[in-house]
Amino acid sequence: MTQDAIEMIDVDKWFGDFQVLKGINLNVKPGDRVVICGPSGSGKSTVVRCINRLEAHQKGVIKIGGVVQDGSAAALEAIRSEVGMVFQQFNLFPHLSVMENLVLGPMKARGMTRKDAEVRAMKYLERVRIPEQALKRPSQLSGGQQQRVAIARSLCMEPKVMLFDEPTSALDPEMISEVLDVIVELAEEGMTMVVVTHEMGFARKVADQMVFMDKGEIVETGTPEDFFNAPKSERTQAFLKQILQH
């Protein structure tokens, strides 16, 4: 039996008195491509942020590559070496060039030499198809390009799992596909990923597990065929009806 890449068992989380996650159970096996959707405020971003411990959960168990996430240094180390993250707002470092954005982690956290880190950075910039932008500042790039740089920055740490938190929500419509194409390619190469998104066409194409969340709960999970063609829950039906109308 292979080790689950991510395992969430009965996870609860509160922000003050407000419970954002209620009994979340989620298993992601190596190579799985999980897409989480749901209305805003449903807790889908929080799930992703708990997986890499940008937020701490209060109850339940989260394991990354079999390591229980308890906030200890060793557990954090496991996350930082295995899990990459792409944010809605890109969060590139504006004071650094694209290249410096990419080599910072490998050099400072992994102790790579500049030369090795730059070779690796160029490899991933080519992968996201913007090697010619290496010396520019993030602010000189379009939103789509910035998000592709952010993906490359994550890949430079060579994670086993990639988390995407609404990677196209802050983009102009004409730039969405260039970012999604890169993510689809990664999926085809076998990268394990958890994607929070409203892009249902993309979800249909890459997901092998759909997760629908509402009010802090996982309402329904299933294959894309079942999920889109025969949603079981009424809430899922209502959500899909709304989102697919457009």
Query: Among 87, 124, 212, 227, which residue interacts with other proteins (rule: CB under 8 A)?
Result: 87
Question: Which of 87, 212 has the CB closer to other proteins?
Answer: 87
Q: State the nearest-atom distance from the C-beta of 33 to other proteins, in Å.
A: 20
Query: What order do you get walking across the sheet with 67-68 strand by strand?
Result: 18-28, 6-15, 59-64, 67-68
Residue of the chain from 42, 133, 154, 168 that contacts other proteins (CB under 8 A): 154
Q: Name the segment binding other proteins (CB under 8 A); options: 86-94, 124-132, 185-193, 196-204.
A: 86-94
Contact with other proteins (CB under 8 A) among 10, 59, 66, 108: 108
Nearer Cβ to other proteins (121/210): 121
Residue 87 makes CB contacts below 8 A (sequence gap 6+) with 150, 165, 167
- Our finding on whether 72 is near other proteins (CB under 8 A) is no
Q: Which stretch binds other proteins (CB under 8 A): 3-11, 63-71, 82-90, 178-186?
A: 82-90
Query: Would you count residue 121 as binding other proteins (CB under 8 A)?
Result: no
Bridge-based pairing of strands 161-165 and 192-196 is parallel
Min. distance of Cβ 165 from other proteins in angstroms? 10
Q: Does 91 bind other proteins (CB under 8 A)?
A: yes
Q: Which two tokens stand for residue 183?
A: 């993510």
Q: Which residues bind other proteins (CB under 8 A)?
A: 52, 54, 80-81, 83-85, 87, 89, 91-95, 104-105, 108-110, 137-139, 150, 153-154, 156-157
